[in-house]
Amino acid sequence: MTGLNNYERIKKSAASLMERLTRKKIEIKKSAWRAGTFLFAALLVAAAGSLLWSYTASAEEEVEDTTYYCFQEAEFNYRVYLLENDLFGYRVLEPGRAYITNLTDYIDVDFEYHFVGESEAEIGGEYSITANLVAMTGQDEHLVWENKYELLPVQKIEAYGTDFSIKENIAIPLAEYLKFAEHVREETGYNPGDLSLIVSGNVLVEAETTEGILQEELSPTMIIPLKGNVFTVGGELLDVREGGITETMTVNAVAVGAVRAFSPLVFTASAIALLLFQTVIAPVKTIEKQRELSGIIKKHKDRIVVTTNGVSAVPRGAVTVCSFDELLKLADEMGRPILYPQPHVAEGSEHIFLIYTPEKVYAYGLGESSQVED
């Protein structure tokens, strides 16, 4: 019984508090009231959805952690050497331009490789440089013939430490390759739709570290199209690898934890704000309606009969008047009482005052609009 009595006291106290709060409402513009109501309702729904998601999503996630970091790059740098000629006073041309095919003697290439690790490692592997002279058909791009050249035989890599470098210099005898292509054309009568020289650097590295074994393959390429009077040097001249040895770790999902922590706060704050907007804060027009209603009942309570069968709108066919005073005049003239069917829900409902006669029904409606009941 004691628990029940305490519950009743708490219930009455809460009801009393809500009554005191709603007695004096904060008036704001109707547009602001609607915007606030929509905003806090949306926040309430979003917080509820986020909270539900946070408890259905996994609280753990897998991330990759680099246990051994290293940086590697393999690169081709080149210069083009011309045949001796009476046209120009120079023989060496810098990279990044177009070159006359028939004046080219060879291409001087520097091949460089660099390895940098965060700690000492046993570095092994091999590297080489090859060239392919490739003849293709035109639009279909079918291989017709190719000739392979070994520019740098396979070299072994053996080193120990945190860094390692390779630097090799080779010459690509482009004039010789062009003579070979011309010889094939004369012997076969076939003029390729596309003729290219593809130079490939091949580096295979295996580094044994305290965190495990790292294996990496780098392959910079030079592509030299030789169909035409001039050529350019393209391809992927630089191949860079940054990373190392990684392992997958399972950690707590930060996003899930943050949502679980903050969603209840947002949910509670939005619910309280929404409740305030429905009880304590009201649009100015609603406040004015309530004030007019309170004034009418207080001033004319002896002339008004309150009924419990509330109506939602002015009855169909009723004659409406523009003010309560006009309705009061009609009641005096006809000697009829003014009926007030009290609505079941005060907020947002019509408050209708009626006079019933055998011939007509007269009404005065208090509300945002006085709609006629169908």
Q: How far apart are CA 267 and CA 298, in angstroms?
A: 41
| Neighbour-count burial for 67-96, b at 16+ CB within 10 Å, e otherwise | ebebebbbbbebebbbeeeeeeeeeebeee
Give SS3 for 90.
Answer: coil
Q: Are 331 and 341 in contact (CB under 8 A)?
A: no
Q: Are 250 and 62 in contact (CB under 8 A)?
A: yes
User: From first to last of its 374 residues, what are the pLDDT tens digits of the chain?
Assistant: 544 455 465 456 545 555 555 555 666 666 677 777 778 788 778 777 776 766 666 655 666 667 788 999 999 999 999 999 889 989 999 999 999 999 999 999 999 999 999 899 999 999 999 999 999 997 778 999 999 999 999 999 999 999 999 999 999 999 999 999 999 999 999 999 899 999 999 999 999 988 888 889 999 999 999 988 999 999 999 999 988 876 665 555 556 567 667 767 777 877 787 777 667 666 655 556 777 788 888 888 888 888 877 676 777 878 888 888 888 888 888 888 888 887 765 445 678 888 888 888 888 887 544 444 44
Residue 39, H or E segment: helix 30-56
CA dihedral 231, 83, 174, 79 (to 10 degrees): -70
Whole-number pLDDT of residue 297: 80
Whole-number pLDDT of residue 189: 92
Whole-number pLDDT of residue 282: 62
Q: How far apart are CA 356 and CA 340, in angstroms?
A: 11
Could you tell me the residue ranges of all domains in the chain?
A: 26-59+253-280, 66-237, 284-366
DSSP E strands in the chain: the ranges are 26-28, 60-82, 92-93, 99-100, 104-136, 143-172, 194-209, 212-218, 221-225, 230-231, 238-252, 281-283, 304-307, 319-320, 338-341, 351-356, 361-366
Neighbours of 179 (CB within 10 A): 11
Q: Which residues contact 361 (CB under 8 A, 6 or more apart)?
A: 315, 317, 318, 319, 354, 355
Whole-number pLDDT of residue 374: 42
Q: How far apart are CA 256 and CA 46, in angstroms?
A: 15
* Structural Rg of the chain based on CA atoms: 46
Whole-number pLDDT of residue 139: 76
Q: What is the DSSP letter of 373?
A: P
Q: Are 317 and 354 in contact (CB under 8 A)?
A: no
Q: What is the DSSP letter of 347?
A: T
Whole-number pLDDT of residue 370: 43
